[in-house]
Amino acid sequence: MKRPRFIITLLILLSSFVSSTVYASYTDSLRFTGSVVFTPPLNLELTNPAVKAIRPGESIDLDPDRKTMGFTVLLVEPGDQRVITFQIRNTGSNPALLQNLSPKNPDSSSGVSVQWPTMNNVVLDAASTSPEFTVLVMWEPSAIGAPEGVVNFSAAIQYTQYSPP
């Protein structure tokens, strides 16, 4: 009587071992884990800033990171204007698309107007420099009674990586 029990126990143990071995052989797998950080090599910078026919007291500055240009120009009478030029250099390895320039212009009551360059959908190839862009700052001729003071304005250029169609 002990013998059939022993055989049944042995068969159960043997079938458990065989089934777990078969299961393990079918469920083994190779796994890969990791992550990718994608930073496209796209780097635009301002270059060659200038005020045409610079006057005493006027200045133009470029931050060390070459992402921000600041300038001070003097307007001496209604109708006076100053021309600021700059270029954009793509030091990255991918082409860039200049999407647009979004200005914050001075209040019209100041008598000062700013004309910004158009930059809609300008493609700038890798390792290349744009043509010269021009900003025109003008004391409107009709603003004879405009108050004296400092007028501030700014603009930002949006760009992205260019993907040819």
Is 16 contained in some domain?
no
Is 21 contained in some domain?
no
Whose CA is closest to 41, among 110, 95, 88, 3?
Answer: 95
Is 92 contained in some domain?
yes
Is 17 contained in some domain?
no
The DSSP output letter for 88 is E
How do residues 63-107 score in pLDDT, each as one tens digit? 999 999 999 999 998 999 999 999 999 998 889 999 988 999 888
Read off the pTM: 0.74
CATH classification of the domain holding 54: 2.60.40
